[in-house]
Amino acid sequence: MKCRHILTLFFLMTILTVGISQNRHFTYFQLAPLDINPALNGEFNGSIRAGGIIRQQAFGWASNSLVTSNLSLDVNMLNGFTKGDWISFGISLDAFESGGIVKFKRTYYKPGAAYHFAYGKKQNSVLTLGIQYGGVQESVDFTGDGIRTGVSLANGGVDPDLEQLKTPTGSDPEATGRNASSSDLMIGITWKTKFAKTNHFLGGVMVGNILSPGGALASLSSASPNPTPNPGGNSLNAELPLLIRGFAEMRTRMGRRTAFVPTLMYQKQGAASEFQMNAMMDYLVKPEMGLVIRGGLGARLASASDAQLLLGADYRGFKIGASFDLGITGASGVDNAYEVGLGYIYNIFKKPTVKPIIICPRL
């Protein structure tokens, strides 16, 4: 096989790996609630919640780092059909991008809504149904100089196969990649119950990629004179397989100022799957200021596993967090990652300030 065909195969398999097999995920997934499950839309005490998180993985590895980010905004707006119920609306923006000679990017635009059904004698339990319907945009960019440089090292020319991928017949001769858009549907359900006054359990499951979004990778496959098969024996396919994700969280008070919060999450997308778990301790430093500091450890178990360190704090409606992943198995350095995130909850309806009333003793 000629060297240029080997390079073509390598580039396509790189896209296949990061575009299909790589599950989009966060270590500090508590800071990306609308990405975890549509039914977490409105799952907070307040009127408006906004937040964002960014993850950089494989930084410094073959100049091909993976960057994942999420921005979200949700509001509790309407009362439900029965007393204690409420309706929430929100939007989540997600992006996954890989660098290097072949640049791949996938972005999600996911507006959604959730209905919260409260029940029980004291309405301490809430069953929530959530839905998101939005768009998925994909792009693959072949940097011309990078490709020419790589091929020139082998044969001093330009690989015609890569050029055909860059500029298919009848398209813009200046084009250097592919762009495609599609729609997707996500549905989810969660259940939350409070017990012993200050403790709670929260869990749920969601199904995503219901409409099998994709497009950019399929155009690459059709443009290539020799479409690259994947390890499973199928031709290169851009359709994202069905995503199933479940999570569970338990919050238990262990004293006047401390709480133990273990969390589990499992997700499966096609042949790829992973299991995450972390446990954090919250310590209330100043109750009057709402100052809480937290820290904990976690692990991600998959074909490439890692150990995790998580740190965070709450202060007057703000929530900050950071994490670091250290790859244990898999390619050296690929699973090393760090994340930083910030959230804020605003309550429109503040407690009223009652002026003292002096009553005349003669009355």
Q: Are strands 48-57 and 86-98 parallel, antiparallel or unpaired?
A: unpaired
* Of 258, 263, 262, 316, the residue nearest 282 (C-alpha): 258
86 located within any domain:
yes
**Does residue 360 lie in a domain region?**
no
Higher pLDDT, 191 or 19: 191
> How do beta strands 125-142 and 306-315 pair?
unpaired
- Are the beta carbons of 210 and 187 closer than 8 angstroms? yes
Per the domain annotation, does 221 fall within a domain? yes
Half-sphere exposure (Cβ direction) of 97: Cα atoms closer than 13 Å: 17
Domain containing 60 — which CATH number? 2.40.160.40
- With cut-offs at 50, 70 and 90, classify the pLDDT of residue 123: confident
The verdict on residue 352 lying in a domain is: no
**What is the domain range of residue 177?**
3-346
Q: Output the pTM of the full model.
A: 0.78
257 found inside a domain: yes
In-domain check, residue 111: yes
What is the spatial distance between Cα 27 and Cα 92, in angstroms, rounded to a whole number? 18
| Residue (of 102, 106, 100) closest to 20 by Cα position | 106
321-346 mean pLDDT: 85
Does the pLDDT of residue 188 top 50, yes or no? yes
Cα-trace Rg, the chain = 24
Q: Write down the pLDDT at residue 96.
A: 86
* 108, pLDDT greater than 80: yes
- Rounded alpha-carbon distances, angstroms, from residue 208 to 74, 79, 134, 274, 285: 19, 27, 11, 16, 39
Q: Is residue 277 part of a domain?
A: yes
Number of domains in the chain: 1
Report yes or no on 160 lying in a domain: yes
147 pLDDT above the threshold of 80:
no
